[in-house]
Structure 1
């Protein structure tokens, strides 16, 4: 057990370093957006395009990441593994090309429909060129992760972000002070990274059409596609509803809050990247359930403290932005709860992926997406951004508990669902209390009281005895 924990810890630390680096670069870059882009509306448009591309990325991946993780560790010979990777690469690049043709033929009509103007179709073309190159990079880095070449993954990813940051600043200051300048900077940066990864990429860029392999991949992956679309709906539908019910300015504020909420991923993303290969490598070990229970509990507690810390210091962090953007700070910590839960569901879904019952992830997130849309329609017209936050957090809570319940039936881990629910409820109440104290400008010592109350409430249910026996 110790050797497995050591590997997870070492890889997680390296990935955490990578994500700290990339997030810091992103946050250094963010004030340049707020200064050089012409107001919240233009940043709202950039955020809108990013979210649209993220939805299309789900279609490109089509659940093949989880399928590849399973079959890559299922087979041990290099030739078979390479065939699976090449099949996934061929499939993904074909989807990108098809999507590009749709937007190319749609042109100004889609620009008018999505961005309220016919003059922005070129932004989609640049975004798709970037998506094509980034699809190659993503899959190559995924294989390097599976081979535990963590240092190479970290160096490449951080270099990519540095390139993007430097080029974005140069374009915004000297060449193109617009959304188009940012998108072109991204395209150039991924193009340069492709050149760096050309050697490990070459074996996988040879197209292959092996129907037997592709069928196995799609049988595993297809049930996850509705989950991917549901993910996109939960993450992004709020922005579209805000744009329709309010304005691009409101979308810009919400997008700013989401950007800062990803601070919590400084704690989680290292574990997230290391978790899938780590957990799949332990599939047949007898001691794995107890090890997973220990990790579930530790991750939940550490993540909860991370969210509360973010809520506490957010009013100071937000000062790095231009004044119009500073009003986003009350929404950051509540959104961070949803961001953390989105990560934590993957940790507690071990049984679903072991048993290849991936359709249950789609079912859970499909239900959560419906909840998100309904709550958005009900609350956003009345409460604006707070309505979006309520729907976002609630939908992820629904998804987490549905996934956990099914995963426990398929592969039991001695971990208490009740105590998990209690911890998350206490986290939501404590976060809301801290934000209320800050917004109302009450005595800051009350925040210390919230921290103490949260710790006591967790100790009451004996988090040191987090594990339960199967009935």
Structure 2
């Protein structure tokens, strides 16, 4: 099995997608000396809290339609014109919807900012948040098309270029201009906007812009049930920092955010492998090659377990070497947060079959239950034990979500790993 995988496009794409996806967290890891020496824990806490909220708003601005692209792209392989019409309809709909929604969110910035932020100034951080969420929502579409086309080389080139440019701009804004917590946010907004414009120009020959109601309707029927799934993933991963901001100091949030960012490298490694895994698995199932598809699930399982436990000592040592002493407490939080990431990696396995079968309601229900458990535990524990309450809620929620989705997939006799 492994000798065949060495020659497979899946393995090559997995390596490339992983490299591309992990460039952002790896550069974030490289940036630790800059962040921890030029930003106080409170500034770092502010920056990462805003970045966390970006994820929430991005989820709703794109309506999970990037997932519909990676699924329905294969339904039009025999009709290029319909494929272009389909892609053009989804692209145009998301651009219009996200732009209108972003304008409305900015108009009501005073009211929404008051709800979201306790210690963080609404101006300018709320506007950075909405701007970055908007460009990331649009960016998700051309990146999804690249995944569907299994063009891993281009995917990697874009992510590496984007990550390196954001790093260079961030260093300039932090070290030279002294912009503090705004530095990384401003660089993300500028570079991501340029990447979006470049990709839309490059991919225009794959698109016929229109607003075909049928394409939009059945794509939304597929993607909207995924919203609770995607939103709950954000809740489990990031909502703790929003709740922490109401109960602990920004300094403590900065320490916790550093540990969370380091553990996120593992999560994005899994995501990178999954970026190659899902299109390949979907294609094998469409070709009725169930045995080969099942082998992919097993390989993914082994990758998750081995890389997860290996990453614990590496992450702890790396953080100790690269970070300032004021962030030392973060080192001992990392192993606990990595356990949650391992559970999240295993979760991708049963989801692959349910995603292929278009049983997105099952995915959404398990994620929603886990997210609700996460919120309840956060509010119950954080006021008393602070960041450790956030860690407990994250681990518990990921285990609940994994158990529920595994049960749903086996009940439907769809899990073959």
**TM, length-normalised to structure 2:** 0.91
258 and 97 in structure 1: CA distance in 2 versus 1, 3 angstrom threshold: same
Indicate conservation of the 8 Å contact 1:268/1:343, yes or no.
yes
Matches within 5 A, 1:138-217: 138-194=140-196, 196-203=198-205, 207-217=209-219
How far is the alpha carbon of 1:265 from its aligned partner?
A: 3.8
Show the counterpart of 1:257.
259
Indicate conservation of the 8 Å contact 2:25/2:261, yes or no.
no
How far is the alpha carbon of 1:50 from its aligned partner?
A: 0.9
How far is the alpha carbon of 1:119 from its aligned partner?
A: 4.8
113 and 267 in structure 1: CA distance in 2 versus 1, 3 angstrom threshold: closer
Residue 307 (structure 1) aligned with residue 308 (structure 2): yes
204 and 186 in structure 1: CA distance in 2 versus 1, 3 angstrom threshold: farther
How far is the alpha carbon of 1:272 from its aligned partner?
A: 1.2
1: distance between equivalents of 2:254 and 2:53? Answer: 15
352 and 229 in structure 1: CA distance in 2 versus 1, 3 angstrom threshold: same
83 and 409 in structure 1: CA distance in 2 versus 1, 3 angstrom threshold: farther
Show the counterpart of 2:80.
78
User: For 1:143-197, what per-residue CA distance to the aligned partner results, in whole angstroms no more than 9, with x for missing partners?
Assistant: 1221122111111110000100001101111224222232221222123324543
370 and 138 in structure 1: CA distance in 2 versus 1, 3 angstrom threshold: closer
24 and 350 in structure 1: CA distance in 2 versus 1, 3 angstrom threshold: closer
Indicate conservation of the 8 Å contact 1:264/1:303, yes or no.
no
User: For 1:222-254, what per-residue CA distance to the aligned partner results, in whole angstroms no more than 9, with x for missing partners?
Assistant: 111122222222122211222222222222222
How far is the alpha carbon of 1:349 from its aligned partner?
A: 1.7
Matches within 5 A, 1:24-35: 24-35=26-37
Show the counterpart of 1:422.
none
Larger radius of gyration: 1
Matches within 5 A, 1:51-66: 51-66=52-67
**Partner secondary structure for residue 177 of structure 1:** coil
362 and 205 in structure 1: CA distance in 2 versus 1, 3 angstrom threshold: same
In structure 2, runs of 5+ residues without a counterpart are none
From 219, 224, 227, give the equivalent of 2:226.
224
Indicate conservation of the 8 Å contact 1:352/1:410, yes or no.
no
Indicate conservation of the 8 Å contact 1:264/1:310, yes or no.
yes
98 and 405 in structure 1: CA distance in 2 versus 1, 3 angstrom threshold: same
How far is the alpha carbon of 1:364 from its aligned partner?
A: 0.3
User: For 1:430-463, what per-residue CA distance to the aligned partner results, in whole angstroms no more than 9, with x for missing partners?
Assistant: xxxxxxxxxxxxxxxxxxxxxxxxxxxxxxxxxx
User: For 1:20-71, what per-residue CA distance to the aligned partner results, in whole angstroms no more than 9, with x for missing partners?
Assistant: 443322211232122222x111211111111111001111222212222221
**Partner secondary structure for residue 348 of structure 1:** helix
Indicate conservation of the 8 Å contact 2:370/2:397, yes or no.
yes
Matches within 5 A, 1:70-469: 70-76=71-77, 77-116=79-118, 119-194=121-196, 196-203=198-205, 207-265=209-267, 267-288=269-290, 290-319=291-320, 320-415=322-417
How far is the alpha carbon of 1:295 from its aligned partner?
A: 3.5
Indicate conservation of the 8 Å contact 2:244/2:387, yes or no.
yes
User: For 1:276-300, what per-residue CA distance to the aligned partner results, in whole angstroms no more than 9, with x for missing partners?
Assistant: 2111101144542x43444434433
273 and 131 in structure 1: CA distance in 2 versus 1, 3 angstrom threshold: same
**TM, length-normalised to structure 1:** 0.81
1: distance between equivalents of 2:294 and 2:282? Answer: 16
1: distance between equivalents of 2:269 and 2:133? Answer: 27
Of the structure 1 ranges 105-114 and 144-153, higher mean CA displacement relative to structure 2 is found in 105-114
Aligned residues: 413
User: For 1:82-127, what per-residue CA distance to the aligned partner results, in whole angstroms no more than 9, with x for missing partners?
Assistant: 2222222223223322332233222334334323369533333233
267 and 100 in structure 1: CA distance in 2 versus 1, 3 angstrom threshold: closer
345 and 164 in structure 1: CA distance in 2 versus 1, 3 angstrom threshold: same
C-alpha RMSD of matched pairs (Å) = 2.4
How far is the alpha carbon of 1:395 from its aligned partner?
A: 0.8
127 and 201 in structure 1: CA distance in 2 versus 1, 3 angstrom threshold: farther
User: For 1:259-313, what per-residue CA distance to the aligned partner results, in whole angstroms no more than 9, with x for missing partners?
Assistant: 010232464233111012111101144542x434444344333322323223223
1: distance between equivalents of 2:302 and 2:363? Answer: 24
**Partner secondary structure for residue 179 of structure 2:** coil
349 and 117 in structure 1: CA distance in 2 versus 1, 3 angstrom threshold: closer
Show the counterpart of 1:46.
47
Of the structure 1 ranges 97-106 and 148-157, higher mean CA displacement relative to structure 2 is found in 97-106
How far is the alpha carbon of 1:137 from its aligned partner?
A: 3.0
Show the counterpart of 1:428.
none
